[in-house]
Amino acid sequence: MTGKAVMVIGGGIAGIQSSLDLANRGYQVYLVERSPSIGGRMAQLDKTFPTMDCSMCILAPKMIDCSHHHNVKTLSYSEVKSVKGTAGNFVVTVLRKPRFVDETKCTGCGVCAEHCPVEVPNEFDEQLGTRKAIYMPFPQAVPRAMTVDKNNCIECGLCLKMCQAGAVDLKQQPREEEYNVGAIVVATGFDVFDASQIPTYGYGRYKNVVTSLELERLLCASGPTGGHLIRPSDGKIPRQIAFIQCVGSRDRRFGTTYCSSICCKYSVKDAVLIKEHEPSTAVNIFYIDMRAFGRGFQEFVNRAKSEYGVRFVRSSPGEILEDPASKNLRIWYEDTVAGRIENGEFDLVVLCPALIPSKGARELAKVLGAEIDNYGFFKASDILTSPVDTTVPGIFVCGYALGPKTGDIPDSIMQGSATAARVAEILERSV
């Protein structure tokens, strides 16, 4: 019965929450996820603020609830191609990209990956770690199936031979499936601003200048370094670390004039984490406004200062220079409170980049006929009164697809549940 089916596009925490609330209510949910596994950005994080919960630990149970739920059908490694119809009766064509592995047979044992000769950088680890041509992005991936990355695969067939479950099928073809749903929820999340657009910070040229998402992977137990924070250039433990805020955010030159709302908070969290790992490390946060807003965060910043000795410098640095020999970084900045121009040497610099619309979000908006705002995020039909409705009736949006209107994870979760309410409101009335 179409009236009781909903399609959720995007398997991040917002999409998962929306799917769970809808499924628990009796709706049939089709959860479309472009990458091989649901989990989204939250799966890449190490810990979350302010409670310091391990991100995967609070996410994995929800991912498994979602995929095991009898009302949820997860369409991973798939993309929405076209949408026809109106609220209450949409017809959506979904392209099931070939993963060259039969999901039902594969147990995710990983034997094929052991024998695969091709090793390429792993997008999940922000290119810091590597994966094979046949891979699973991270251990807790859901669905638990390998995927073959055909443009790096050399068709040697070793995986086919080694797989006892006979799950590898290198001839798999893409196929399009049609789904009839009453409503659509968009939860396509965000991508990260390319920090190399600010040449004076040297991201992409200096090895030890990393983004905060790369830092999360370095700190994460399932990350490329097993949770040990080391310098990408020589693997040493960093002694002097600098966090630089507002890289791309609050910047008119790139059209990302908004504040991404979470960078101040997660950098204090990362600073405290680093201090817990290695108390002797000096951690400095360069900020313009320390935006630790909302309950519990100012106390968190005070503790970071007094208990952990994190140094906060009110300044946005002008430039970073690399010493070619030691690959250490000299940051030129003005401590605007002391009114002094200073430069300090650091062995690791973490840039906190702006969050921008995810690749493909603009095209999806065109396919759905939904308007986007001047930053490229989905436009809420009314910022104040209907914040999770798109401009198309029957299509809703939650999570960072709404852009900076979404703050951190609790906002994504609340918006996920809110879309479930909106769907129930329009589908209850029509049935």
Question: Rounded CA gap, 330 and 209, in Å?
Answer: 11
Rounded Cα distance between 305 and 310, Å, is: 5
Q: b vs e for 195-222, b when ≥16 Cβ sit within 10 Å of the residue's Cβ? A: bebbeebbbeebebbbbbbbbbbbbbeb
d(CA 126, CA 109): 24
C-alpha to C-alpha distance for 411 and 190, rounded to whole angstroms: 14
Hunting for tokens 């619309």 — which residue is that?
Answer: 357
1 binds other proteins (CB under 8 A): no
Size of the site for other proteins (CB under 8 A): 103
CB of 251 to other proteins, least distance (A): 4
Binding mask 135-164 for other proteins (x = CB under 8 A): ----xx-xxx--------------------
Q: Given candidates 60, 111, 160, 367, which one binds other proteins under the rule CB under 8 A?
A: 60
165 binds other proteins per the rule CB under 8 A? no
61 binds other proteins (CB under 8 A): yes
By CB under 8 A, name the one of 196, 298, 326, 430 that touches other proteins. Answer: 298
Task: In whole angstroms, give the CA distance from residue 230 to residue 20.
Answer: 38
For the CB of residue 257, give the shortest distance to other proteins in the complex, in Å.
Answer: 6
- Interface with other proteins in residues 113-132 (CB under 8 A): none
Q: Under rule CB under 8 A, which residues in 329-358 are in contact with other proteins?
A: 332-341
Give the integer Cα–Cα distance in Å for 126 and 377.
23
CB of 376 to other proteins, least distance (A): 12
For other proteins, the closer of residues 176 and 428 by Cβ is 428
Structure tokens at 298: 């100012």
Report residue 225 as tokens: 């370094």
Q: Encode 328-365: b = buried (16+ Cβ within 10 Å), e = exposed.
A: bbebebbeeeeeeeeebebbbbbbbbbbbbbeebeebb
3-state class of 131 per DSSP? strand
Q: Does 174 bind other proteins (CB under 8 A)?
A: no
Q: Of the two residues 69 and 150, which places its CB atom closer to other proteins in the complex?
A: 69
Using CB under 8 A as the binding rule, whether residue 52 contacts other proteins is answered as no
Phi, psi of 397 (to 5 degrees): -145, 145
* CB nearer other proteins, residue 93 or residue 108: 108
Cα distance between residue 248 and residue 200, in whole Å: 13
| Binding span for other proteins by CB under 8 A among 150-158, 181-189, 359-367, 423-431 | 423-431
Q: Which of 157, 311, 363, 371 is the binder for other proteins (CB under 8 A)?
A: 311
Q: Taking CB under 8 A as the rule, does residue 295 contact other proteins? A: yes
For CA atoms 330, 333, 338, 341, the dihedral sign is positive
Q: Does 261 bind other proteins (CB under 8 A)?
A: yes
Residue 185-214 contact track with other proteins, rule CB under 8 A, x = bound: ---------------x--------------
* Nearer of residues 219 and 350 to other proteins, judged by Cβ: 219
What residue has token string 């208990």?
307
Q: Is 246 in the site for other proteins (CB under 8 A)?
A: yes
Residue 217 CB partners (closer than 8 Å, separation 6+) = 44, 46, 124, 125, 126, 128, 129, 223, 224
**List 227, 344, 360, 376, residue binding other proteins (CB under 8 A):** 227
Of 94 and 269, which has the nearer Cβ to other proteins? 269
The two tokens of residue 32 are 């479309």
- The reply on whether position 87 binds other proteins by CB under 8 A is no
Residue 80 or 284 having the CB closest to other proteins: 284
Q: Which of residues 14-43 bind other proteins (CB under 8 A)?
A: 21, 24-26
